[in-house]
Structure 1
């Protein structure tokens, strides 16, 4: 039986963020992951650090996370672009939102757009990483710095001071359970109390011939990022899009894309909420994303290279941190912004946990 200061259950970005900050505090850490490598929400996303459009505590976490992403990219050697985000306004009410947003955040209004529009804004602090490599590189870096990883290992029970796994027992001073939407597999009553559901996303990778360095958001994105809610004109955008494109709003479309290092675009995405994800994948949702992205890019059609379904935890509050038992923390980003905020959330959780240790 081994013994460490901290066991982290889950090797997605939330779990790795806790391991990263724990090691910097001098703690010994073991990470337990059921798969042979991270394969969930942390590798199925846009790779977009959308820091500027967050609000409240999420904005605070995001700005802390930004600095940590830069440190990790330098230390682990993974690809990171500080190219910002361009929000494209394709209607006058969307341009009005951006003009109002410029009074809330330090952004740059611009007409230099990668796609057609009536105006836009550059959010210069946002970053891009390749999600298909970043979390794996972080795990490798942590292993080099002494973190023990038990891959392909299921956790059977989590108790104060003890984690039982399919590879044996681990004694520990404290445990962080960071399993995203699978919180209900460990603490079903807690998940019910916090109204945790699964959010299913439809995303695609398509071929593209040019270079679009920043991430690109649209008016549909304004309906999904909290900081835009500060802008009075956002209500008008919502009303117009709901009237003109009810099916797209109903599907929870966040029309956006990011470019991968090979030039292809990650595009999406739609949102569907349920406690259990049905296996069926209605083709019309992909058709919606493809049609609207082609229109955004000004091309007749797009060539699909890959399709996938992402799933993340969703709840009324954007972050879930709970103490189901002494010296145990259940942690989940329940708002789809784990890549953006986890590296800022983790130190706050550990500061609290260390007071109890």
Structure 2
């Protein structure tokens, strides 16, 4: 008898992928009293769910993403308490370094009311160590922070304690209605959720092509905090305004984009989102740049890291930064921010195709489960 003919396990819901999207669906299914099996090809989650800023960027979302983010926020608060991982509720400071950025924030505050609190330059400096070019900013108090190197693993441990069965180091080969063939045997399933992020094309290439799924690769770094100061907030900038959908309703955003196109077009060309968060130990996670391909180029361009370091140093008002670690993040990207498809009966392929999985997955998953197991 071959390993593929052997029965490995069975459950009401089988989830393929133990990143935050997969864990969100395992959590939602377990909350419904369903038996759950999670299959993960690696020995622990190593992808986008642990290579990010740990930023629950709630307020800057729009449309369905905002609804998912607000719902996910409540789940994050509960999970942090139940699983015992660190979570910060101090929100985000958006730093404005030009008058047009201040105008965007004023317009955003009018749109969102109490979700946005405007700051003058002194108010920004009292919260974040920044350079002298800051002219104002805003606090987004609903945003959250977690340590991505800790949180996803803690959620997996909590789910295991609650009866979710994990098969680590187990690759899903064939997904069919009622069954998943894996590298260790067959898993019978009432329902299947495929949450493999950018690797959708490994399982359903026609679906990935039809939905124009690509891999977004980005450059991120961990650096020593040059000020030795606690930064309670996540930090966004004018470049962040160009990347988050919530700001698109602000008329002055066109002025921000035009200024960058005239003064720093190279930053737009590399998809710079200048932002940072502080890890619990004090180091800063900084970044990031964005590049889109179906197959990621394996060669790293050193100038990308150099630009991230230079722009972050300028933001913080220092001459240089000490690098602790460098890494490449990869996530699924597509024209639509969320992908939920049914390639076969009882099977859902789910991906957050906009780089906001940590922010929205815990809110998205219950809606998928409502439909899948109805």
Class of the TM-score when normalised by the shorter of the 2 chains: over 0.9
Q: Secondary structure at the match of 1:30?
A: strand
Is 1:110 the counterpart of 2:135? The answer is no
Is 1:73 the counterpart of 2:85? The answer is no
1:319 to 338, 351, 361: 338
Alignment of 1:199-348 (within 5 A): 199-208=216-225, 209-348=228-367
2:143 aligns with: 126
Q: Mean alpha-carbon deviation: is it higher for 257-266 or for 113-122?
A: 113-122
Structure 1 distance, partners of 2:172, 2:246, is 38
Is 1:64 the counterpart of 2:71? The answer is yes
Is 1:97 the counterpart of 2:104? The answer is yes
Q: Is the 8 A contact 2:10 2:37 kept in 1?
A: no
**Equivalent residue pairs, number:** 355
2:185 aligns with: 168
Residue 167 of structure 1: how far off its partner (Å):
1.0
1:147 aligns with: 164
Structure 2 distance, partners of 1:45, 1:321, is 22
Where in structure 2 are there 5+ consecutive unaligned residues?
Answer: 1-6
Q: Is the 8 A contact 2:30 2:36 kept in 1?
A: yes
Where in structure 1 are there 5+ consecutive unaligned residues?
Answer: none
Residue 128 of structure 1: how far off its partner (Å):
0.3
Structure 2 distance, partners of 1:104, 1:321, is 29
Structure 1 distance, partners of 2:17, 2:260, is 38
RMSD of aligned residue pairs (Cα, Å): 0.6
Residue 278 of structure 1: how far off its partner (Å):
1.0
Residue 125 of structure 1: how far off its partner (Å):
0.4
Is 1:87 the counterpart of 2:106? The answer is no
1:30 aligns with: 37
Residue 260 of structure 1: how far off its partner (Å):
0.2
Q: Secondary structure at the match of 2:315?
A: helix
Q: Secondary structure at the match of 1:103?
A: helix
Structure 2 distance, partners of 1:121, 1:254, is 17
Q: Secondary structure at the match of 1:332?
A: strand
2:153 aligns with: 136
Residue-by-residue CA offset, 1:104-143 (whole Å, 9 max, x unaligned): 2121001211124100100000000000000000000000
Q: Mean alpha-carbon deviation: is it higher for 102-111 or for 234-243?
A: 102-111
Residue 103 of structure 1: how far off its partner (Å):
1.1
Structure 2 distance, partners of 1:104, 1:326, is 42
1:194 aligns with: 211
Q: Secondary structure at the match of 1:237?
A: helix
2:201 aligns with: 184
Structure 2 distance, partners of 1:264, 1:346, is 32
